[in-house]
Amino acid sequence: MYISNYRRRSDAVFLLFIVFLLFCIFRLLFIQFFRASYLAQIAKKQHNLFVELEPRRGTIYDARLKPLATNISADSLYASPNEMPQKDKDNIIRQLIPILKTDYNYLNERLTRKKSFIWLARKISPGQSEEIRRLNIKGLNFIKESKRCYSNGYLASHLIGFAGLDNNGLEGLELYYDRYLRGEAGWAMYLRDARQKRLNLWEDMALAKDGYDLVLTIDEVIQYIAERELDKAFREYHAKGASIVVMQPRTGAILAWANRPAFDLNEYSSSDKDTRRNRLICDLFEPGSVFKIVTASAALEENKISEEDRIFCENGSYKVGSHILHDHKPHGWLTFREVVEQSSNIGTTKVAQRLGADKVYQYVKLFGFGRKTNIDLPGEISGMIKEPRFWSKTSIGAIPIGQEVGVTVLQLVTAVSVVANGGNLMKPYIVKEIRDKHQKAIKSFSPVVVQKVVSGSTANRIKKILTGTIEEGTGKMAKVPGFSSAGKTGTAQKLEPNGAYSHNKFVASFIGFAPAEDPEIGIAVVVDEPRPYYFGGVVAAPVFKNVASDVLRYLRSNAPLKEVSITDETNRVS
């Protein structure tokens, strides 16, 4: 009886082992044939580390190949919270706060996560990196990344723009040409040991493709001169804002581009949106008397008047529709030349009445107003000009003198360059070449003629009149020592929220070029709400004089900037 029970138990145990063995065999077969690839992937993840290889972001150079935006190596701090003893985390956080200049909650939230990798701070300074290394904290490590560096800080800040932490362009040229500058990321698959530490062995790799470099038309020295003089006026007249642009009239190449207020590109996150606004192409304003070059050019081109024809300026008061038009000081009889030189509103309006609304509008469009210049920068607006069918009875006395029309500073410099270069509207551009890392040009940009605006003869006649504006008229403070120059002043009242013109808010402006007989530079200066003086001839004209004087001397003391062939984009259009 006892032996029989023992055998039954032995058989049961044996059977149990057989069933278990068969189960294991079937399980192994299932894993081998149905789960092999899945488990192989898990093993591969455990023993392989995927690392993205960051490309070098392209360098931005000025016209003489001086770097304006480059890359430097920087440490980025990360933590492995799973490796840190829980009891030590509070002490670690308190040691990091004064170094990283962050708050307790931010670090605490990150270090309490159950992760093996989490960023604490990206692209920190060498000083911060050294301080953290001295703490010798387990679970804190660094990764080398590239950081965008702007060696000149504030210089050309609105033009260059900036790139973010991940080296993606966010503003200015950095944004507009981001697809060229950023390059293409690569990757590498490194091997790891059983403790998850990376070995210096890689299984597979695709190299990163570095970004292309930009060569600008901007000259660093000319940029500095323009910013220095603009900053003086901005501070002296306690202005709300100010802008200046310097352009080659014959090509449309931009030599300098500046706004005030400005910001440090290396500390862009600490500046506000208003400071970062690119006023040269984003701000709309009524230009005032600088706009009279359009009316004057149209009248001469259409043979409606000649320089010595006399116009009665009504002794300073003239009714247009239901509106009484005034001059800044009364005039009687003036020649057409003197009307422009003395910036007579009444004289200009009488000339515009001879032309008619349709012709005035036609030439406003020909000079490039009311549409984008298509500059290679983001955020440009088109400005505003009403079609004649929407004009009121007083518009013929407003638009020809720069009211009821909205323009940008860039449009003003392209308009005055029409007169300077013999009648062509040029497309402004900032980038001269895009190059690879071997300095081979992959793309070049040439000057483009948008359209013919006026004949060379008309342009020369207007040029002489604008020379007289500086010699005898309202622009005497723009006279450049040692060089001839031509230009036009402007003083425009700003609109109040109720639609009425303000009596204490003005925009002072000056547009011009030098030397007058063979212009090398065209300049537009605009100062928003200067105080206590607000006339363009007092506030903006001296900026033109100082910039033109120093720039022309600089250009003569250095090798000339390379000029390229000009492309005709379109025929003249109305």
**Catalytic residue chosen out of the listed positions 157, 289, 297, 485:** 289
> Of the candidates 199, 213, 162, 198, which has an alpha carbon nearest to the alpha carbon of residue 55?
213
62 near 173, Cβ under 8 Å? no
DSSP element (H, E) containing 441:
strand 441-444
- CA 156, CA 245: separation in Å to the nearest integer? 11
DSSP 8-class letter at 344: -
Beta carbons within 10 angstroms of residue 112's beta carbon? 13
Tokens for 560, please give them: 């000339």
Three state DSSP letters for 257-274: EEEECCCCHHHHHHCCHH
372 near 363, Cβ under 8 Å? no
Using CA atoms, how far residue 508 sits from 234, 267, 486, 489, 543, in Å, is: 11, 31, 17, 8, 11
Tokens for 548, please give them: 């033109």
- CA 490, CA 402: separation in Å to the nearest integer? 9
437 near 210, Cβ under 8 Å? yes
- 450 φ, ψ (degrees, to nearest 5): -70, -45
Strands (E) located in 15-110 = 48-53, 60-61, 67-79
249: Cα separation from own chain's centroid:
21
DSSP element (H, E) containing 234:
helix 220-236
- Max CA separation in the chain (angstroms): 145
- CA 500, CA 393: separation in Å to the nearest integer? 17
Three state DSSP letters for 477-544: HHCCCCCCCEEEEEEEEEECCCCCEEEEEEEEEEEEEECCCCCCEEEEEEEECCCCCCCHHHHCHHHH
DSSP 8-class letter at 371: S
Tokens for 320, please give them: 């247009």
DSSP element (H, E) containing 334:
strand 333-335
Q: Nearest 5 degrees, angle CA 220-CA 226-CA 232? A: 135
- CA 401, CA 343: separation in Å to the nearest integer? 9
Tell me the pairing of strands 333-335 and 441-444.
Answer: unpaired
- CA 437, CA 208: separation in Å to the nearest integer? 13
Q: Give the type of residue at 216.
A: L
Tell me the pairing of strands 60-61 and 213-216.
Answer: parallel
- 38 φ, ψ (degrees, to nearest 5): -65, -45
- CA 352, CA 400: separation in Å to the nearest integer? 6
208 near 185, Cβ under 8 Å? yes
395 among known catalytic residues: no
Q: Catalytic residues, which ones?
A: 289
